[in-house]
Amino acid sequence: MKKKISRIRSTAVPLPIENIDTDQIIPSRFLKALSKKGFGKNLFHDWRYDKHGKCNKKFILNNRLYSGKILVCGRNFGCGSSREHAAWALIDYGFSVVVSSYFADIFKTNALNNGLLPIQIPEKKINKMLIAIKKNPHLIFEVDLKNQLFISQEMQLKELFRIHPYKKTCLMNGYDDVEYILSMKEKIITFENNNK
C-alpha cells in the first residue's frame, strides 16, 4: 500500500525550467536498480552535480533555503521517454506533489500510479508562484485533494484542479490498481451471489 494523500501543507521548491524531460529527472544510467527505493539521490543528477560529482551550488535542490513536499515547475514537465523511474525518483527524494501548467501524459499516468500527485494550474499563476517562492522560501501551500484545491493564503490563491475520480480514490486510500479491486471484494462477492 502506498502512502495516502488527502491534505498536504508544505513549503515548495521552485524550478522555473520548461520541457524538463524524464532523462533530466533521472538519467538513464541510473535505471539499473530493481527496487523503487534509492532513486532520489540521483534526481536531477546532471544538474545537481558537475561531471566530477561535485555539488552544483547554483541548482535549486542544493540550496538549503528551499525545501518541501511540493515541486513547482515550468511548462511541459515529464516529457520524453515513458520511464516510470522519474516518478520513483521524485517520490524517493521526498516530493508528494508536482505543480506545472502542463504535464506529458505518460508522466502524469506514471505519477498517479505511484502515489505522486501532478497538479495542473494555468501558466500565468505558475509564473506568479515561481516568483513568489523565490522571494519567500517559507511560503506555505496547501493541497486539499478531497475538494481538489491548491491553496496559498499568502498569495490569495485558491485554484481548483482536475483529477480522474478513480485516481483520486486510489491516492486518498493509498491503493494501487490491485488494492482498489481488493477493497471492493465484498461488493464483488455480493454482486456474484445475486447474479447466479
- Report the distance separating Cα 21 and Cα 39, nearest Å: 16
Give the pLDDT band of residue 2 (cuts 50, 70, 90).
confident
Average pLDDT of the segment spanning 120-126: 97
C-alpha dihedral (136, 137, 139, 142), degrees to nearest 10: 150
Average pLDDT of the segment spanning 116-141: 97
- Report the distance separating Cα 152 and Cα 168, nearest Å: 21
Residue, of 2 and 85, whose pLDDT is higher: 85
- Report the distance separating Cα 129 and Cα 13, nearest Å: 10
Residue by residue, DSSP assigns 40-82 as GGGTTHHHHB-TTS-B-TTSGGG-TT---SEEEE-SSBTBSS-
DSSP state of 103: B
pLDDT higher than 80, residue 189: no
What is the structure's pLDDT at 1? Answer: 67
Arithmetic mean of pLDDT over the chain: 93
What percentage of the chain has pLDDT greater than the value 70? 99
Geometric angle at alpha carbon 114, from 23 and 24, rounded to 5°: 10
pLDDT tens digits, one per residue of 33-84: 777 888 999 999 999 999 898 999 999 999 999 999 999 999 999 998 888 9
What is the structure's pLDDT at 186? Answer: 83
Close Cβ partners of 76 (under 8 Å, ≥ 6 residues apart): 18, 19, 20, 100, 102, 103, 104
The Cα-based distances of 101 to 87, 123, 170, 194 in angstroms read 17, 5, 23, 47
Q: Is 3.40.50.2300 the CATH classification of the domain at 7-194? A: no
pLDDT tens digits, one per residue of 144-184: 999 999 999 999 999 999 999 999 999 999 998 888 888 88
Name residue 139's beta-bridge partners.
Answer: none
**Residue boundaries of the structural domains of the chain:** 7-194
